[in-house]
Amino acid sequence: MKRPNIVILGAGYGGMITTVRLQKMLGANEANVTLVNKHNYHYQTTWLHENAAGTLHHDKTRMKISDVVDTNKINFVQDTVLSINSDEKKVKLENGDLEYDYLVVGLGFEAATFGISGLKEHAYTISNINTARLIREHIEYNFARYNNEKEERQDMLNIVVGGAGFTGIEFVGELANRVPELCEEYDIPREKVRIMNVEASPSVLPGFDEELVEYAMNLLEGKGVEFKTGTMIKEVHEDKILVEKDEQQEEIPTNTVVWAAGVRGNSIVEEAGFETARGRVKVSDTLLAPGHDDVFIVGDCALIMNEENDRPYPPTAQIAMQEAENVAHNLKVLVRGGSDLEPFEPNLKGTVASLGEGQAIGVVGDKKLFGWTASVMKKIIDNRYLFMLGGVGLLLKKGKFNIFTK
């Protein structure tokens, strides 16, 4: 009997957990499982803001796939996905094609630019290890150049972060810790540096508890972060941006704009012909793409509605991991000839947002967490994922154990 080919695209949270679960659930003779990823490493997306600010080295954030996945059981292909042909059940890669019987799509996100002029050309995004490294080096280069310029250039010391959701707030929290260190290193007075967070909504962290938001804003403002809420970025240029609030426009000199105001699913999914909304597929209750019984979608590419408020669940790491567990179980059922697939039910255990070293806010169950307590909880959550992924060995190698530092 022919062994079915299971192909998993992307080694993000969804792809990796699906892979390691199948590695344990299926015998070697039950299926051929192939994981495809552009790089030979997996990384913690939820730590990228620390890499971008320069408060955590990127090698701490990434781990080799071969250190987590048993390549005797899983076929790992390091290649770039170009397209998906669901009619022919083929995936086109840069260096060849793969045929599948079952496909798991976990290709991650892209920045949503909303048509803002110049954003794509002149703004940075915190989207992977390489973009995070680029942001860190760009900021440090600006500080290093500042005192070597013939004239003072304020655009080099103005850092603008577009968006006050999780990524934007966590990033400015890390910047608020990093900037004083850079000022000391490069002999620049701290008061010359501006960290600005621009958000179109009337408040930061939309949807978060008001008391927690107030705590976060007070803390960050105390560290020198300026919030410009109810303000839209209209244009981004090489050395300035144009913002608008209450029909009043303002020009801000800056050559550092970090865009963290929106994501969409990978465009490959859209181009494959699946029904999408901003690149995300509204999946069935078993995480199958509509009209397909052989294509599962997980992570940033999956759109799942919360029936309680008729809004999509945010595409968080927590949701992606739970989706992956569900998909791995359902693939085991299908491989073994079953048809009774288990519906996916999100189980949100809580949310924690970092505000820099030793500070965070969060909600776990119905309990609000502030400051150091929330920061400890964030480390516990991060360490739990490492344990789920690679057991004690990976946890000891990559975990965050010192509750007073990173």
Percent of the chain having pLDDT more than 70?
99
- pLDDT of 46 > 60? The answer is yes
The single residue of 50, 149, 152, 170 carrying the catalytic annotation is: 170
- pLDDT of 403 > 60? The answer is no
- Joined together, the tokens standing for residue 294 give 């052989």
Is 170 noted as a catalytic residue in this protein?
A: yes
- pLDDT of 394 > 70? The answer is yes
- pLDDT of 404 > 70? The answer is no
- Joined together, the tokens standing for residue 252 give 């801000």
Q: What are the pLDDT digits (tens) for 204-253?
A: 998 889 999 999 999 999 999 999 999 999 999 999 999 999 999 999 99
How far apart CA 52 and CA 130 sit, in angstroms, is: 9
DSSP 27-78: -TTT-EEEEEESSSEEE-GGGHHHHHHTSS-HHHHEEEGGGTS-TTTEEEEE
SS3 334: helix
How far apart CA 270 and CA 353 sit, in angstroms, is: 30
Q: What is the mean pLDDT of residues 334-339?
A: 93
- For residue 203, with 0-12 CB atoms within 10 Å meaning exposed, 13-18 middle and 19 or more buried, which class applies? middle
